[in-house]
């Protein structure tokens, strides 16, 4: 039975990843910003608190998991809704987005690198956004969110190079405009469908895909 660790299972995409992998028979380690949001109706899974900005919580989770082999990590925890414009930017929130969206995944893989190496699949996937693509930015704005996701993509590219010799495949996936709280009421893609297709992209990942950015359908995205 493969094991997956998913961050940000409080709502939306992370929660759906945990549900779908549990339904497929995986051993799921679901983490939450607020443990009160734990999933109660998706079959057996392990639950743990993990604020991805809190080093102490990473240390605690590593201690609890020990040398448990992890086949796949889905780094999903993130924040957005960055609508500030020049002259009215909330720089505290810009900083928070970078800490959660970019530094959080980096700390995650640093903490659990050995667990991934012990697994058989050895895949580290981060949920990114096409808004982090510099080439696709034709509308401006969203400074903090765009910068945090572009930073994440750059970090993932370096991880792909540094972890290649350890057999870890690294990839970033844009989930589409998903019908979640972050996606807004007019989003086009149901969360269950987005996650189903992302799981298929993850399943098909090979060493030649490492460091790439894909959308939920498996199409490569420009930087």
Model confidence, pTM: 0.94
- Bigger pLDDT: 117 or 186? 117
Res. 201: pLDDT tops 90: yes
Residue 40's pLDDT is what? 87
Report the interhelical angle of 104-118 vs 55-65 (nearest 10°).
10
% the chain with pLDDT above 90:
84
Per-residue pLDDT for 185 more than 60? no
- Region 3-30: mean pLDDT is 97
All structural domains of the chain, each given as residue ranges with its CATH number in brackets, are 3-215 (3.40.50.720)
At 188 the pLDDT is: 81
Residue 85 has pLDDT above 90, yes or no: no
- Cross-sheet strand order for the sheet of 27-32: 46-49, 27-32, 3-6, 72-75, 123-127, 169-174, 212-215
pLDDT of residue 110: 98
Q: For residue 107, which phi and psi values (nearest 5 degrees)?
A: -65, -35
pLDDT at site 44:
83
What is the rounded average pLDDT of the residues 23-44?
Answer: 93
């Amino acid at each position: 039975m493969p094991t997956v660790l998913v961050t940000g299972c409080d709502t939306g995409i992370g929660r759906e990843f945990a549900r779908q992998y549990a339904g497929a028979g995986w051993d799921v380690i679901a983490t939450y910003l607020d443990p009160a949001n734990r999933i109660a109706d998706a079959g057996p899974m392990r639950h743990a608190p993990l604020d991805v900005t809190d080093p102490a919580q990473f240390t605690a989770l590593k201690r609890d998991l020990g040398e448990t082999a992890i086949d796949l990590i889905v780094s999903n925890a993130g924040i957005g809704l960055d609508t500030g414009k020049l002259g009215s930017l909330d720089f505290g929130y810009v900083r928070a987005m970078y800490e959660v969206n970019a530094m959080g995944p980096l700390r995650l893989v640093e903490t659990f690198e050995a667990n991934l190496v012990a697994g058989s699949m050895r895949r580290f996937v981060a949920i990114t956004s096409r808004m982090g693509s510099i080439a696709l930015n034709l509308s401006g704005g969203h400074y903090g969110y765009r910068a945090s996701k572009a930073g994440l993509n750059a970090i993932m590219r370096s991880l792909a190079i540094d972890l290649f010799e350890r057999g870890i495949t690294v990839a970033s996936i844009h989930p589409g405009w998903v019908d979640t709280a972050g996606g807004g009421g007019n989003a086009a893609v149901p969360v269950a469908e987005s996650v189903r297709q992302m799981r298929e992209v993850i399943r098909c990942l090979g060493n030649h895909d490492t460091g790439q950015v894909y959308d939920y359908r498996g199409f490569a995205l420009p930087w």
